[in-house]
Structure 1
């Protein structure tokens, strides 16, 4: 009969809280800082932080969507002012870098904010074409129409960043990689 030690048990290791749990229980300032890395509208970040805890990621993303749809023109301008247009990786050909820089400059001159586009689900090899095509097509928009499209792209970016924030388990308040490099 094998020997069994009596009265000795190894307590289970304490479980590290998941990203959503950590976000739900973070100090308000830390949660707001983490949210501002997802979308730079203070009103958006305060609203989402104030409605914690969220039972699951879908609830958090639904709240983020709702807060995004409620952004005023000033809130949207605040968020867009913090955005950086997508850029190319250092090894990209000079012609591609020049084309992208020129397209961004034309867009920003017309609309007075960075071009935003959510590239989640787009293969890396297709991202440059998607950005350049997006800029060319959207340059034809009226300012109000473009503001609406930019708001929707910003909402999609915020959702992706928020999902990444919670999935990757960073400490709230830790800077995230919020901008995509092509």
Structure 2
């Protein structure tokens, strides 16, 4: 009976993620959502048979974020960049809205803009931040957690789609943050 042919190419990104050392997988996951508990939980349940299984695990772990996990994740987030041709007045309006949000909720404003045309970014962010200022703190915690979940999902998909999962051994002299 013939032996099936084996491919000699490099492993796909999901396979690299599944076989990477735990600390390497956790570091990769922290670039998607900066919650150590979330990242360790997902890394601990490897291997994943496919991307949908990994995304389902990431979603489940996101739903279990504690207030402390949420605070840790939000502290690492920044406002999305505005298009280069955005007027100074728009930057001022966004800065003022963001400051009002931080004063009200004590955390960074987070929003997932996946799939939104760049030209609509500013209006969408300003509209969303202003409407969310009316939320009570518990309601906003839930909204922020959902936005983080969506961001993590998109970042995970992008990381694996680009093959950006680090290999098990980084090159000599390489550093990771």
Q: How do 1:54-133 residues align onto structure 2 when only pairs under 5 Å count?
A: 54-133=48-127
Alignment match of 2:151 (pick from 146, 154, 157): 157
Gaps of 5+ in 1: 1-11, 175-182
Q: Give distance in 1, aligned partners of 2:52 and 2:69.
A: 24
Which entry has the higher C-alpha Rg, 1 or 2?
Answer: 1
Q: Distance between the aligned counterparts of 1:39 and 1:118, measured in 2?
A: 12
Aligned length: 164
Quote the residue 2:161 is aligned against.
Answer: 167
- Is 2:24 the counterpart of 1:24? no
RMSD over aligned Cα atoms? 1.8
Normalising to structure 2: TM-score of the pair? Answer: 0.87
Task: Please tell me whether the aligned partners of residues 42 and 58 of structure 2 are also in contact (alpha carbons under 8 angstroms).
Answer: yes
Q: Find the counterpart in structure 2 of residue 4 from structure 1.
A: none
What stretches of structure 1 move > 6 A for 4+ residues in a row?
none
Per the alignment, residue 180 of structure 1 pairs with none
The answer to whether the 8 Å contact 2:82/2:121 transfers is: no
Contact 2:83 2:118 (8 Å CA) reproduced: no
Q: Given the alignment of the two structures, is residue 146 of structure 1 paired with residue 143 of structure 2, yes or no?
A: no
Conserved 8 A contact 1:33-1:172: no
